[in-house]
């Protein structure tokens, strides 16, 4: 993939000086929903502007979407699953992209099913039908989840589905469960009229999956040339998250201002779910958001080895670079 896009990268290299000083377009992983509120708050509340940055947020099409965009230089910064980044870098050695700020300290990878379809716990997935979009970050981690829980994967029928049809198929009973992010699939089902007491959310992180989740990623060539801009971007992002943690209603409204077709109450719930389960973890609240624990990262790599054969020796320093993180005081969430 990276090789095919190298021509675009070369062309964009010539354009870097034109926008490197102040403009930092940001590639999201997904649509404008509750968890994207922090980035809009950082715009609306002047945090990016205070850092001398002009930031435009662009929606994505899945957890893998931002990685090649940032690797080619089409975007200097993005938001992506760090586990997918590991595999991308293994398959594209030397690609100029790395993670610089952990956001989902506890990943939202989940299996979301319906009791009426027989899904009540992990064991009930055996013999069921699972809907999974091939580019989905949660689906990418399913083999680790399955191995950690001794699932009989041969008994599970996997139905490839598209992102737009994932929850509707579950709502219609065409599949028994789906892979997805906990806060997205759950509330999408609610919006489709599925009773909340019929929905079961199995968070992989609660069942043996020790991975990290989505992080801010950066083009390393851009970062090397613009270290202060990258550090300022991360400082503004942390302030944006602190803002929406303090006032989720404000954050939800910031999302609806960009996505008028959305439901402000639903997006506030989605944002709160992400805050409570994925962002404001005990580690992040104590140490400030953005950093990682080296021992946990090493364990995550070892766990990934159980289901993915690295072509090159994995190296945590390739996947996460903490040098651009602002001081901890500037990353506190309260």
* pLDDT score of 2: 52
Q: Which of 162, 189, 206 is the last residue of a domain?
A: 206
Question: Does 165 lie in the same domain as 77?
Answer: no
Residues 116 and 233 in one domain: no
CA distance 264 to 262: 6
Question: Could you tell me if 218 and 86 lie in one domain?
Answer: yes
Using CA atoms, how far apart are residues 285 and 293, in angstroms rounded to an integer? 14
**39 assigned to some structural domain:** yes
Q: Are residues 129 and 238 in the same domain?
A: no
227 and 83 both lie in a single domain? yes
Length of the chain: 334
Residue 241, in any domain of the structure:
yes
Average pLDDT, the chain: 93
Percentage of the chain surpassing pLDDT 70? 94
Nearest CA among 267, 214, 180 for reference residue 81: 214
| Residue 200 domain boundaries | 109-206
| Per-residue model confidence as pLDDT tens digits over 217-241 | 999 999 999 999 999 999 999 999 9
Q: Taking a C-beta distance cutoff of 8 angstroms, is the pair 267, 320 a contact?
A: no
Q: Mean pLDDT, to the nearest integer, of 89-100?
A: 98
Same domain, 124 and 175: yes
The neighbouring-strand residues paired with 26 are 57, 77
What are the distances in angstroms from CA 148 to CA 128, 153, 202? 18, 12, 14
Do 200 and 172 belong to one domain?
A: yes
Quote the number of domains for the chain: 2
In a domain, 1, yes or no: no
How far is C-alpha 283 from the chain's CA centre? 18
Answer for the pair 181, 109: CB distance below 8 angstroms, yes or no: yes
User: Domain check: are 84 and 227 in the same one?
Assistant: yes
Q: List, for residues 2-13, the tens digit of each pLDDT value.
A: 554 444 444 444
- Report the 10 Å Cβ neighbour count for 329: 7
- Angle, CA 100 vertex, CA 94 and CA 106 arms, to 5°: 115
- 32-41, 95-104, 135-144, range with the lowest pLDDT: 135-144
Q: What is the CATH number of the domain that holds 173?
A: 3.40.190.10
244 within some domain? yes
| pLDDT at site 138 | 92
Kind and range of the H or E element at 321?
none
| Span 188-221, pLDDT tens digits | 999 999 999 999 999 999 999 999 999 999 999 9
Using the 3D structure, point to which of 206, 241, 274 is the last residue of a domain.
Answer: 206
Are both 20 and 162 inside the same structural domain?
no
Q: SS3 for 206? A: helix
Both 135 and 240 in one domain: the answer is: no
The predicted structure's pLDDT at residue 63: 72
pLDDT in tens, 114-141: 999 999 999 999 999 999 999 888 998 9
Q: How sure is the predictor about 20, in pLDDT bands with cuts at 50, 70 and 90?
A: very low
Q: Which residues of 89-123 are buried (b: 16+ CB within 10 A; e: fewer)?
A: bbebeebbbbbbbbbbbbbbbbbbbbeebebeebe
- 216 and 72 within one domain: yes
Q: Are residues 263 and 224 in the same domain?
A: yes
Of 206, 237, 270, at which residue does a domain stop? Answer: 206
Q: How many CA atoms lie within 13 A of 7 on its CB side?
A: 1
Residue 93 covered by a domain: yes
pLDDT at 228: 96
Q: Quick one: pLDDT at residue 136?
A: 87
């Amino acid at each position: 993939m990276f090789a095919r896009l190298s021509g675009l990268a070369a062309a964009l290299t010539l354009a870097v000086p034109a926008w490197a000083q102040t403009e930092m377009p940001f590639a999201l992983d997904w649509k404008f929903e509750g968890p994207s509120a922090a980035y809009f708050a950082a715009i609306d509340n002047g945090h990016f502007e205070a850092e001398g940055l002009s930031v435009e947020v662009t929606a994505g099409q899945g957890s893998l979407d931002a990685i090649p965009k940032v690797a080619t230089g089409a975007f200097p910064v993005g938001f992506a699953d760090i586990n997918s980044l590991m595999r991308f870098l293994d398959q594209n050695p030397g690609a100029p992209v790395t993670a610089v700020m952990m956001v989902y300290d506890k990943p939202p990878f989940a299996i979301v099913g319906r009791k009426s379809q027989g899904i009540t716990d992990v064991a009930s997935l055996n013999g069921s039908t699972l809907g999974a979009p091939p580019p989905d970050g949660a689906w990418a981690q399913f083999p680790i989840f399955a191995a950690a829980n001794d699932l009989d994967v041969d008994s599970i029928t996997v139905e490839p589905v598209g992102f737009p049809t994932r929850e509707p198929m579950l709502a219609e009973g065409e599949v028994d469960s789906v892979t997805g992010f906990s806060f997205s699939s759950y509330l999408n089902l609610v919006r489709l009229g599925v009773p909340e007491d019929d929905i079961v959310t199995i968070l992989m992180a609660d069942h043996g999956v020790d991975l990290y989740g989505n992080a801010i990623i950066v083009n390393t060539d851009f970062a090397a040339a613009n270290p202060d801009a990258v550090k300022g971007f991360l400082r503004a992002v942390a302030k944006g998250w602190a803002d929406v943690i303090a006032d989720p209603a404000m954050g939800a409204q910031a999302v609806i201002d960009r996505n008028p077709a959305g439901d402000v109450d639903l997006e506030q719930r989605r944002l709160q779910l992400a805050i409570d389960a994925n962002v404001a973890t005990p580690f992040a609240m104590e140490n400030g958001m953005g950093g990682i624990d080296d021992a946990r990262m090493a364990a995550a790599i070892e766990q990934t080895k159980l289901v993915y054969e690295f072509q090159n020796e994995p190296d945590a320093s390739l996947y996460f670079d903490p040098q651009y993180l602002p001081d901890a005081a500037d990353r506190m969430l309260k």
